[in-house]
Amino acid sequence: MTRLGTWWPRHIATDAPAAVVLIRLYVGVVFLSEGIGKFLHPDRQGTGRFDQAGIPAPGFFAPLDGVFEIVCGALILAGLLTRPATVPMIVDMLGALLITKLPVLWGDAPLFDDASGWWDFLHESRVDLAQLCGSLFLLLVGAGTCSLDARLRRHHHRATATSAT
C-alpha cells in the first residue's frame, strides 16, 4: 500500500457518536464566517484589525488567515479530513489568544482599550476559547459517524476487505 494509502485512513478514523455533528457545525460555521468576513470587511475583520493588533505584515497574514479559516471551516463542516483541518485552526486560536487577548490581562490590548484584568480577558476571549476547545475536541475524537470521514473510512474498509479475499 502506498504511503498516502496508509496515512489517510488513520487520520479520518472516528468512533465518535453522530452528535459530534453539533460541535462540527458550531466550529465550522464560526471559522467559515470569520474567514469570509476578513475579505468582506477587511478594515474591521481583516487587514485593518491585524494592523491595529500590531501583527506584522497584515496585508499578507490577514488574507492568509482568512483562506485557512474558510478552507478548514468548510472541511470541518463537511466532516472531511476533520482532524487535519483542526490543526491549523488550533494554531490560529492560540495565536489569537496570545497576540490579541492575553494583553487584556495587564490592560495593554490595542483592540480593547478599556479592558483589563482576568474577567475582561475571559469575556473578550470567550469565542477564541470555545473555538480552541471545539477544535481540540474534534482533533481528539474525529468527525463522528455522521461525516464524510466516516463514510470514506467505511468505503476504505469494504474495499480492503474485498481486495483481501
pLDDT tens column, 45-91 = 999 999 999 999 999 999 999 999 999 999 999 999 999 999 999 99
User: pLDDT tens digits for 85-134?
Assistant: 999 999 999 999 999 999 999 998 999 988 999 999 999 999 999 999 99
For 3-114, strand residue ranges (E) read: none
CA distance 5 to 12: 12
Instruction: Give the burial class of 140: count Cβ atoms within 10 A of its Cβ; 0-12 exposed, 13-18 middle, 19 or more buried.
Output: exposed
User: 57 to each of 1, 47, 65, 90, 127, how far by Cα in Å?
Assistant: 43, 9, 12, 21, 24
Please give the model's pTM, rounded to 2 decimal places: 0.87
CB within 8 Å of 39: residues ≥ 6 apart: 46, 63, 66
